[in-house]
Amino acid sequence: MSRKRVVIKFGSSSLTTEDGQIDHQRIAFYVDNIHEMIKAGYTPVIVSSGAVAAGYSQMGYKKRPTILAQKQAAAAVGQGILMQIYNEIFAKYDLVVSQLLLTRMDLTDRERCHNAYNTLEELLQHGVIPIINENDSVSVNELKFGDNDLLSSYVANLVKASHLFIVTDMNGLYTDDPRKNPNAKRIDIVETISNEIVEIAGGAGSSVGTGGMKTKVEAARVGLFGGISVYIGKLTPESRIIDMMKGTGDGTYFLPSASPLSMKKQWLGLHSMVRGEIMIDAGASQALIHQGKSLLPAGVLDVQGEFHQGDVVEVKDEKGRTLGRGISNYNAWQIRAVKGLSSQEVAERTEVDKIEVIHRDEWVAYTMSGEDRV
């Protein structure tokens, strides 16, 4: 039987008791579900929050800290506690687990991203279950994923998963906040993440975690971009992982509409560090998004930032909407010098290796349908 890879993300609110302490019984229930999934022929990868929740009381804090240094210290203590719990429970099923702590830089740097991929591949080939968390003890705000929702979607793309399950204390996406509006209705299936879907995504369901429904929808965007089926909802005795697989889980399903990206395109579109911005006109937007063309100097309106040839830049339309990312063949100052010029004029006036500002082979579009962004 071919083994499909599934990424399961557990948020802090799904791992803790009402008073914010790690819930051993709930984790044991999750592990039992994962064991059942393995017997059914699937290969799990876990993205788990909970380090701060596991460690803050050990640090003597009366409640979950909000100061960065305190959160990082709590994570440093709690990560070991969390892994010990996972290790002991998985060992009952003769399953071996491993710990991977990642920062945004581990995925934005192409070589480090490739190393992370190789490590995960080796673990999975040997039947070891990776348990992944952001390295909160050393991450700084500008290099953080923001929350493990986004981390889980990046990991799902990295390991070429078929499914991403984001387990939370909310049973899916609603038309409004069901805690405040009793008439709110759950959206069972999302085929396209439109601007309307993003706007109705509510706030956090718990004070324990850091990610709200909006970040989960953004994570779903990234997952769909890689051709991954995404589920956001609860994991309960009445809605087990096997039920999620069958499409009968207690949550919302996001259906993929894109083919999986190559590893190079994954790095470019999802993990790379953006060094600047290029604004283009409507004609260039049409050519890039709908005609599969390269970006030429004639279509460039403006440039932001001081980037160099080979750097990754975001491309935006005249309304400031991000269309995608690409690798620039020019330095920023060179683009400013040739923007709006025809290819013939550029060839006559400058000495550049390539006329294209961004070649179509070095480009990833974020547009999935109409004005929708990934």
**Residue where a domain terminates, one of 264, 285, 311:** 264
Instruction: Tell me the chain's radius of gyration from C-alpha atoms.
Output: 22
Q: Is 370 part of a structural domain of the chain? A: no
Helices in the chain by DSSP H: which ranges? 12-15, 24-39, 51-55, 68-91, 104-108, 110-125, 148-158, 195-200, 213-225, 241-246, 263-266, 282-290, 332-338, 343-349
Position 205 pLDDT exceeds 50: no
Q: Is 90 part of a structural domain of the chain? A: yes
Distance CA 291, CA 347 (A): 24
pTM higher than 0.85 for the full model?
A: no
Q: Are residues 129 and 67 located together in one domain of the fold?
A: yes
Position 2 pLDDT exceeds 70: no
Question: pLDDT of 116-139, one tens digit each?
Answer: 999 999 999 999 999 999 886 665
Q: Is 111 part of a structural domain of the chain? A: yes
* pLDDT score of 207: 39
Q: Is 124 part of a structural domain of the chain? A: yes
Per the structure, the count of domains in the chain is 2
* pLDDT score of 363: 94
Mean pLDDT of 311-324: 91
* pLDDT score of 373: 37
Distance CA 338, CA 277 (A): 16
Q: Are residues 288 and 313 located together in one domain of the fold?
A: yes
Mean pLDDT of 141-152: 71
Q: Are residues 205 and 335 located together in one domain of the fold?
A: no
Position 52 pLDDT exceeds 70: yes
Question: pLDDT of 35-46, one tens digit each?
Answer: 999 999 999 999
Tell whether the torsion through CA atoms of 75, 56, 142 and 209 is positive or negative: positive
- Low-confidence winner among 49-63, 172-186, 262-276 (lowest mean pLDDT): 262-276
Q: Is 244 part of a structural domain of the chain? A: yes
Q: Which of 56-60, 104-108, 109-113, 269-273 has the highest mean pLDDT?
A: 56-60
Task: Return the CATH number at 320.
Answer: 2.30.130.10
Q: Are residues 129 and 259 located together in one domain of the fold?
A: yes
Q: Say what percent of the chain tops pLDDT 90.
A: 57
- Comparison of pLDDT for 216 and 179, the residue scoring more: 216
What amino acid occupies position 215? T
- Comparison of pLDDT for 202 and 361, the residue scoring more: 361
Question: pLDDT of 226-254, one tens digit each?
Answer: 889 999 999 999 999 999 999 999 999 99
Would you place residue 284 in the very low, low, confident or very high pLDDT band (cuts 50, 70, 90)? very high
Q: Residue 183's domain spans which residues?
A: 4-264
Would you place residue 206 in the very low, low, confident or very high pLDDT band (cuts 50, 70, 90)? very low
- Comparison of pLDDT for 4 and 367, the residue scoring more: 4
Q: Are residues 19 and 150 located together in one domain of the fold?
A: yes
Q: Are residues 120 and 143 located together in one domain of the fold?
A: yes
Q: Are residues 115 and 177 located together in one domain of the fold?
A: yes
Q: Are residues 232 and 106 located together in one domain of the fold?
A: yes
Question: pLDDT of 326-372, one tens digit each?
Answer: 999 999 999 999 999 999 999 888 777 789 999 999 999 875 433 33
Beta bridge mates, 367: 373
Distance CA 356, CA 329 (A): 7
Q: Are residues 304 and 237 located together in one domain of the fold?
A: no
Question: pLDDT of 72-111, one tens digit each?
Answer: 899 899 999 999 999 999 999 999 999 999 988 887 777 8
Position 286 pLDDT exceeds 70: yes
Would you place residue 288 in the very low, low, confident or very high pLDDT band (cuts 50, 70, 90)? very high
Q: Are residues 181 and 226 located together in one domain of the fold?
A: yes
Would you place residue 141 in the very low, low, confident or very high pLDDT band (cuts 50, 70, 90)? low
Q: Are residues 50 and 131 located together in one domain of the fold?
A: yes
- What integer best gives the mean pLDDT of the chain? 87
**Residue where a domain terminates, one of 264, 282, 306:** 264
Task: Return the CATH number at 128.
Answer: 3.40.1160.10
**Residue where a domain terminates, one of 231, 264, 297:** 264
Q: Are residues 226 and 255 located together in one domain of the fold?
A: yes
